[in-house]
Structure formats: structure tokens, C-alpha cells
Structure 1
């Protein structure tokens, strides 16, 4: 059973197995005939022998199975959701297009960051739409030949696609790149704790806003799953809500391997944006051949 099948089983609605139905039907028939079962079932009572086998089968199918009839229902863990998303991401097509398009909106549909919708070409040419452009798509004069960003790390599309696909190697590559960067905090000093958090947020960027390959995205999901404190918050609009270390949150669709919501993201210039809205922000990132008018 792979990660997706395991997660599907853990998230499936509670239904009695065929074995449970067969054993329950047998105990029900014993009761109809005046016999006794080895365990006393509470919560329902058969009064008389007029109940037909067909009606009994319907009754059993409707009544939830008692805990003694089968294994307890287990909720998928946060790690399992991330690993299932990794499997789905690995199997997804890479996608292609003229522009890499990123749009971030508030949980209620409002802009989470003024003007944070952009289209960027691999050569660095950039277009934006938002409050600053009057709601129209407009070219941005400042541009760079290394247009994609993790925390404090600028990358070309070729460098993004060449990132390591082994978990330890990917994490080490990001840590080394941050160590060699000129990253600074508002206080000036960039501590070991700051660097560790920058690595983690860069991994979030790889699964949400950077055009990484399916293999790299899958690897980033697996690295995130290895962090302690990842918790499943349950089903939310867009997928499964996850609580991550340091209080970050993601909304992940484990069936597609897409991140559809986040409380933190890396902007196109490498800055880290924390979403104040408790519901986080909706996020969509994909290749497109269309530049809206």
C-alpha cells in the first residue's frame, strides 16, 4: 500500500467491513431465534421475530459498528498527509508555459498582499497586477536574470530544476546557500536559529511558489514531514490543514500534491511575508501561456 492508499484509508468515512456485517448479521439472527451473543450490545433492541433477513441487513448497514467489531478509526497524521502529497507531486506532470504565475489572496478572497499577483518569464521579465497598477497588468521595470527566490537565495530556472532530489542533500544545499548569502535580519545579526528557520521557509517556498520539478517538490514535502511538531488540523477548504513548527500553517491537497493555502510565503524578491489573517492565504502558482490584458 503506498502513501496515497494509506491516507485514503485513514480519511475514508467510517463504514463497517464485510466481515463486520457478516458477524453482526449472525448475532442478529441468534437474537431473533432467542439465542444470546457472547458480548452484550447496547443501544438497539430487536423485539420479535418478524424482521426479515433483508430488513436485518439494512438495519445492520445503517447502524455504525461498535468498537468491538473492528479496529478503531485512525486519523491520518500530518506526516502521512505530507508524504502522500509527496507521492502525488512526484507523479504529477511538470507543467510548462511562457510565464510562471503566482497569485496570493486572503482566505476570504481579498488580497493578502497589495499587488501580489505576478507573471515572470525565465529571463527575468516581470508583470504585476494589483492596487499599485490600478488593477491592470503592467510590466515592472526592475528585472533580474535570476528571477526565482527562496529565503535569501536567488535562482535561475535552471538552478531550480537542478536542486537535489534526496532529502538530506536538498536540506544541506539550502543551508549552505543561506550560509554563504548576505542574509540579515532587522536586528542585523543572522543567528543559527535564523538560518534554520530560513531553511524551513525555503522548503515551504519550494512546495508553494517556486517552479520546482515534481521530484524536487516531492523531496521538499518529505523534508518538511521529517520536522517534529507537524500536526493534522483536519479538512479545510482546499485540502487538509496542517500546523507546522514555529506556528506556520499550510493547506495541502494530498491527492494532487498542491499547496492551496499558507500562513507564510516567500515573495518574488526573497522576502518572507507572514499572513496576519488566522485563515492564512489562498495561493495558486502555475505555468501559463496567457498574460491577461
Structure 2
């Protein structure tokens, strides 16, 4: 077991000894420093960046592109007062990287994604994508309400189509993955300002939220994000560890997300970077679930 795995394992143990806590956190901080070196619904709008328009409803915004709080973890170092010190945002992401690396990839016929705007009347948005790139959606912008319809756009990354095979071949080293992202040619009309300028942050977030990214690539993406300047842990919340980081587009809106380091999942966030290249944002939270399924809901033409 390496240092990261030792600390990640402590998440499941509510009362580790003070000696183990201090030793493990010290090792993790040392490792962390090492990694750090290396047709639509119109609801009113304003521009976010080239090719991306934001639609607003009370407390919620949806961005169409051309067409997930710091947590005080009980495994922190113990202070003189006896209270655990919070683990940093970098450490939380490194813990998630360890979990992602050792989580076996499941299988199925369709990659199923559900995004739910909490405290909003907007219905959950769903998509199903087969391995040959065919995609179906329900309640996405432009869809007939509560109806599963074929989608014209499949999976996208940095404004360009990406296949399941492409994702399988992505680099599993954090620095190599960031270099691949920077070199990838995308469609500027469907990219944010930071993506056009070569910043990998939003692309890395896409890889860990909605895309069917392989386990070792997800781990690399978490490690790369852990080296991003300004990542902070702001407190314990339901479902995981609440993190925040600066918006790479420089609009003054922090990215907030809740990460469960045990499952390596972004449980919810105020920014949703979808598998088809669109993005959604909210003043509240957007909950995201992903899984494989062998069933596709009937489309209108399939129904009796």
C-alpha cells in the first residue's frame, strides 16, 4: 500500500490513532507537493465566452455550446485543541485519484447520465450513449418535454467529437494528459475562452464528471486537477468533500463541487460540463449520476 492509499483508506475509519493520522497526513502532503511540481429553450441570456450562451431561470443557468465546500475530514492532523485540521483540496483530489485507480470499470450497452438541478422545477436531464456513438436524450434543451429523442450530437471533448476508443487511449500520466489536452484541436465556436487559450481545467473536469472515462485516465485527471492553483477545501457537506477553485475563464465565478473521495465521483457542482460539449451552471447545486445500463427507454416511434 502506498502513502496515498494509506490516507484514502483512513476515510472509512472514523477514529484512527493520532500517530497514524499525523504520519499519514505528513506523507500525503509530501506526495502532494511532488505531484504539484510535475433549437433551444430561451430563458434570457448573456454571453459567457465564444460559442457559449447562458440561459437563466430562478437560481439556475444553462449554457449551450453550439448545438459538480471544504470538508473537515476526520483523518486530518490533530491540533493542540484536539480538533482535526481540515485536509486540503489538493489532498482530497489525490485521495479521489487513488480511489479512481482501484475502482473496476463496469460495463453495459449504454452510458447513462442524469443531471438534476436541485431546488429547481427544471426536470432531470438524461442521456444514453452507445459505444458506436449513437445518443439519445430526455429533457435537454430543444427536446420535447419528458420524451426520449435521438440526439444529433454524440460525445464531445474540447468542442470536438470523442469516441469510446479515443477515451480508452488517453494518457494515464497527469502531465501527459494535460499536454494531450493542450494539443488537442477543437472547434473554437464550441469552446470556452480558457479552452481556446490552452487551459486544461474544464476539459479535466469533463473527464471526471459525465464522460465514460476509463479508471486509470480518471485517476490521472484527478491528479492533474490536484496540481491546479487555488483549489480549496471549504467544509464537510452531505455526500463528500466540498471544494472550490477559480473559474479559468476569469469571470469571477468560483467553481464549486462536492467530491466523494471514496468513490472518486463528483456528486454535485455549480457547473456541469456535459458529455455533448454543452455546459450548465447554477446558483445552487447540480447533482450528477452516471452508470452503465442495458436498457434504452422507448422513443416516440417505438411506442405502440
- Taking structure 2 as the reference length, what is the TM-score of the superposition? 0.67
Q: Is the CA contact 2:97–2:218 (under 8 Å) kept in the aligned structure 1?
A: yes
Q: Is the CA contact 1:10–1:76 (under 8 Å) kept in the aligned structure 2?
A: no
How far did residue 160 of structure 1 move? 0.7
Aligned position for 1:45: none
Is 2:103 the counterpart of 1:81? no
Bigger drift between 213-222 and 2-11 goes to: 2-11
In 2, the alpha carbon distance for the partners of 1:270 and 1:290 equals 24
In 2, the alpha carbon distance for the partners of 1:168 and 1:256 equals 23
In 1, the alpha carbon distance for the partners of 2:17 and 2:275 equals 50
Q: Is the CA contact 1:207–1:221 (under 8 Å) kept in the aligned structure 2?
A: yes
Q: Is the CA contact 2:158–2:195 (under 8 Å) kept in the aligned structure 1?
A: no
Unaligned stretches of 5+ residues in structure 2: 20-77, 248-253, 299-304
Bigger drift between 81-90 and 280-289 goes to: 280-289
Aligned position for 2:103: 92
Q: Is the CA contact 2:8–2:99 (under 8 Å) kept in the aligned structure 1?
A: no
Q: Which runs of 4+ in 1 moved over 4 A?
A: 7-18, 190-194
Query: When you count helix as a share of all residues, which structure comes out higher?
Result: 1
Aligned position for 1:224: 225
Is 2:295 the counterpart of 1:284? no
Aligned position for 2:197: 195
In 2, the alpha carbon distance for the partners of 1:15 and 1:215 equals 29
Aligned position for 2:271: 264
In 2, the alpha carbon distance for the partners of 1:158 and 1:164 equals 13
Q: Is the CA contact 1:77–1:232 (under 8 Å) kept in the aligned structure 2?
A: yes
Q: Secondary structure at the match of 2:85?
A: coil
Aligned position for 2:244: 243
Sort the Cα spacing of 1:102 and 1:253 in 2 relative to 1 into closer, same or farther, 3 A. Answer: same
Max Rg structure: 1
Q: Secondary structure at the match of 2:272?
A: strand
How far did residue 127 of structure 1 move? 1.8
Query: When you count strand as a share of all residues, which structure comes out higher?
Result: 2
Sort the Cα spacing of 1:67 and 1:272 in 2 relative to 1 into closer, same or farther, 3 A. Answer: same
How far did residue 125 of structure 1 move? 2.0
* 1:10-35 superposed Cα distances (whole Å, 9 cap, x missing partner): 897678869xxxxxxxxxxxxxxxxx
Q: Is the CA contact 1:79–1:231 (under 8 Å) kept in the aligned structure 2?
A: yes
Unaligned stretches of 5+ residues in structure 1: 19-64
Q: Secondary structure at the match of 1:241?
A: strand
- Taking structure 1 as the reference length, what is the TM-score of the superposition? 0.69
Q: Is the CA contact 1:261–1:281 (under 8 Å) kept in the aligned structure 2?
A: yes
> Matched residue pairs, number?
231
In 2, the alpha carbon distance for the partners of 1:287 and 1:100 equals 5
* 1:248-284 superposed Cα distances (whole Å, 9 cap, x missing partner): 11211011111111222223331333x122x321001
Bigger relative contact order, structure 1 or 2 (CA pairs below 8 A, ≥6 apart)? 2
Q: Is the CA contact 1:242–1:250 (under 8 Å) kept in the aligned structure 2?
A: yes
Is 2:101 the counterpart of 1:101? no
Q: Is the CA contact 1:151–1:271 (under 8 Å) kept in the aligned structure 2?
A: no
In 1, the alpha carbon distance for the partners of 2:285 and 2:194 equals 27
Q: Is the CA contact 1:105–1:283 (under 8 Å) kept in the aligned structure 2?
A: yes
Sort the Cα spacing of 1:103 and 1:192 in 2 relative to 1 into closer, same or farther, 3 A. Answer: closer
Sort the Cα spacing of 1:194 and 1:12 in 2 relative to 1 into closer, same or farther, 3 A. Answer: farther
Bigger drift between 101-110 and 1-10 goes to: 1-10
